[in-house]
A and B are shown apart, each in its own frame.
Chain A
Amino acid sequence: MTETAVDKRDAFLRINNLHVWFELRRFGFGVVGHVKAVDDVTFDLHRGEAIAIVGESGCGKSSLMKTILGLHKPVKGEVSFEGKRLSELDRKGLRWYRAHVGYVQQDPYGALPPFMTVQRILEEPLIVHGVKDRAEREARVRRVLEEVKMHPVDDFLGKFPHMLSGGQQQRVVIARAMILEPQIIVADEPVSMLDASVRVEILKLLRGLQEAHNLAVIYITHDLSTVRYFSERIFVMYAGKIVEKGRVDDLLNQPLHPYTRALLTGTSEPDARNALTYKEVPPGEPPSLVTPPPGCRYHPRCPHVIAGLCDVQAPPEFQREKDHLTACWLYKE
């Protein structure tokens, strides 16, 4: 995709100044603090665009994703879809929104109700969204199973999730996300629980679906090595904030933020030479989200910390190149 192509597409999902905080209570009474899982996140998603949100466990990427899905309510900020704010939608509006957002989960076995057959699992979203005609439902189930390459379809309709392999289960999860013909797919580490042998297949399948239906995909992962498969832009998250945004090639080839660089050094490419090299990992642990460090949240672990600046003032976003932004004082003009 060229830059102009990205610009031409309209931003139909806007995340603006989003804060997702969870209350901390003591003995069930009185709020004693907040877990600031997502703190001031802003980005746009364009039609047909695939983005990746990368960060280590506990950085708030799952909370961000669940807020986009409408499962959590933000304390501040907005998610808006096609110009409509999520917080202002009524039940019917929310249902309309949910029909446009598909959700692919991490654990395919847990994501499928064990007491339902594949057919029933795939019919459920249709029933919820008022498709009353039985024949139409079955036709749509068959079509979507064809699309996720579950051949022959008849063999799978009557099966229960435990009768399927991990890869097949994940295909059913993808089929369920696709059955309402959404415009956005939110994929939460869709391959991390799968065998290495089927990961690529599942990623190719997702990529194929994305291209065939011009889907926007939000791909959430902690694993940079799978990002290349289909993302156009990468957002790197650290302790509830996005620290770097950029197009895949720019970001992977010229990482700006010290945290991105640390993440990239930690990534294993399947290369025999890697077995012998020692990898430097950033010292320390991710900060507490209840009392994040002042200033830049990465400064206690950062090797390039500027005393008197990084630990006092939170860095704004600096633009290094077009579409490549980072929140780090090192890039202050």
Chain B
Amino acid sequence: MNSLSRTLRDLSQYPSAIVSLIIIVLMLVVSIGVVIAIPYKEAVRLWRGGELVWYQLPKTVPPAWTNYFRSRKLPDTIIVDTRQTPEIKSYEPSGDGRRIVIDIPIEYSYDEFPDELSLYFYTTQVTKPPFVAMRWEKPDGRDSRIADFSLQSTRQNYRFSQDPKLIQRLKGEEPQVALFAEPGSQPPVAVKGTYHLKIEILTFDADTDVDVEFLQYGKVYGLFGTDHLRRDLKVGLLWGLPVALLFGLAASLGTSILAMLIAAIGAWFGGWVDELIQRITEVNLVLPFLPILIMVGTFYSRSIFVILGVTILLSIFGGSIKSYRAIFLQVREMPYIEAARAYGASDGRIVVQYLIPRIIPLLVPALVTGIPSYVFLEASLAVLGLGDPVLPTWGKIIQDAEFNGALYKGMYYWVLEPSFLLMVTGLAFAVFGFSLDRIFNPRLRGI
């Protein structure tokens, strides 16, 4: 406890240490929050959900806040659902059935045109299919017919851009442009104001009810934007944080502590034990690390836990064992070790109580600075297509972006967001590790 508070006091003298520590603590808090708010199963369901989960979101659009830096504002995504706003829906009796009138107001104040307009109809029954008629009213009062059809399924989709009759009526222009444009303007100019989409539904018995969900897919979305599967990048980026931290921490902790223990055992017992450890290390050092991981990923499993295990296994017998052994060999000859043997301390006690404490000041900074390299390793593997098949990770988002030509198509946000998070994580741990190094090894302070 005493030494912990002393370490913290020493740390407070380095501003870089404070900043990096704040970032690390923040990342830990956010990770825990994310895991609680979006449990593992839910995260996997969302990330693997596809169109059924994400049908309301536009494809590959940048975050909404980018509008602050644009001179021509891009339209946002607008969702109007009669199940949530029943006041825009009214009923009138008509013959055997009734007439449902829905008036969807659309506030339009953007300079560009939306990506797509889409409607979902939810009908209670289709044995007597209800009939739908839709009209479009512009801010100046002019209105035009959109489409008339009957509902053949309980969940029916109508896409404006997919209706050939509508396109024909609009003289071949794309509906999402023509419906908002000043007539005759070239290039098309958007008219700002309140539009109304008026839907009349005729049912043929009194019980049938129809609800409508109107989706105006914008060209920006949310805090983080979306990807090619309409997924909100927020889920992937947030869940990538605990995954990255877990991978980095587990790999770094596992590797350095096991390497230190093995080096201590080898240096203390010497003889064939040491020989064996050294030969294994030398063989392992010349084995190509990345190709082995790629092989494991290709032929065995791409699960993050398998990759983590293989990473730890391959990194234990690495260069660190050699440097730890060099220090242990030196410490082994210290007179206090001889004294411990003279009063009868066992081999295990000497290794744990006398050898290892000497290496802790070297181990802790190395452990912290080692975290980012494993975070990057996981991301690199994901970029190479060996990411975990179910979990969202930053590397996999970058891979998706790369695979879909994000940079070529100008979707910079898709690459920059995960890269930025990777960079901040790496920087925080690296800077914190350097500060710890200066505290644990005061000789470095002058440098």
Which A residues fall within an 8 A CB radius of B? 66, 69-71, 94-95, 98-99, 101, 103, 105-107, 110-115, 124-125, 128-129, 173, 176, 180
Contact = CB atoms under 8 A, between A and B. Distances in A.
A124 B344 contact: no
Interface of B: 334-336, 338-346, 349, 353-354, 357-358
A33 B335 CA distance: 27
A124 B341 contact: no
Contacts of B357: 113, 115
B335 A124 contact: no
Contacts of B345: 124, 128
A98 B335 contact: no
Contacts of B336: 110-113
12 contacts: A71-B342, A99-B343, A99-B344, A101-B342, A103-B338, A111-B336, A113-B336, A125-B343, A125-B344, A128-B345, A129-B343, A176-B343
A269 to B, nearest CB: 30
A107 B335 contact: yes
B118 to A, nearest CB: 69
Nearest to B333: A110
B207 to A, nearest CB: 81
A71 B342 CA distance: 7
A71 B354 CA distance: 17
Contacts of A99: 343-344
A144 to B, nearest CB: 13
A94 B344 contact: yes
Given A71-B342, A115-B357, 20 more contacts: A66-B338, A70-B342, A71-B341, A94-B344, A98-B342, A98-B343, A101-B342, A105-B335, A105-B339, A106-B335, A110-B335, A113-B334, A113-B336, A113-B354, A113-B357, A124-B343, A124-B353, A128-B346, A173-B339, A176-B343
B344 A103 contact: no
A110 B342 contact: no
B244 to A, nearest CB: 34
A46 to B, nearest CB: 22
A69 B344 contact: no
Nearest to B331: A113
A69 B353 CA distance: 21
A104 to B, nearest CB: 9
A176 B335 contact: no
Kindly name the residue among B334, B335, B358 whose own CB sees the greatest number of chain A CB atoms within 10 A. B335
Contacts of B340: 124
Given A95-B344, A124-B345, A103 B339 contact: yes
Nearest to A121: B336
A234 to B, nearest CB: 24
B338 A105 contact: yes
For the complex of A and B, 7 pairs with smallest distance between CB atoms: A98-B344, A110-B335, A125-B343, A103-B342, A111-B335, A115-B357, A113-B336
Contacts of B338: 66, 71, 103, 105
A128 B343 contact: yes
Contacts of A69: 342
A92 to B, nearest CB: 10
Nearest to A158: B2
B264 to A, nearest CB: 15
B4 to A, nearest CB: 15
Contacts of A128: 343-346, 349
Contacts of A70: 342
A71 B350 CA distance: 14
B343 A103 contact: yes
Contacts of A114: 358
A180 B343 contact: yes
Contacts of B354: 113
B271 to A, nearest CB: 11
Nearest to A120: B353
A111 B346 CA distance: 18
A66 B342 CA distance: 9
Kindly name the residue among A71, A95, A128 whose own CB sees the greatest number of chain B CB atoms within 10 A. A128
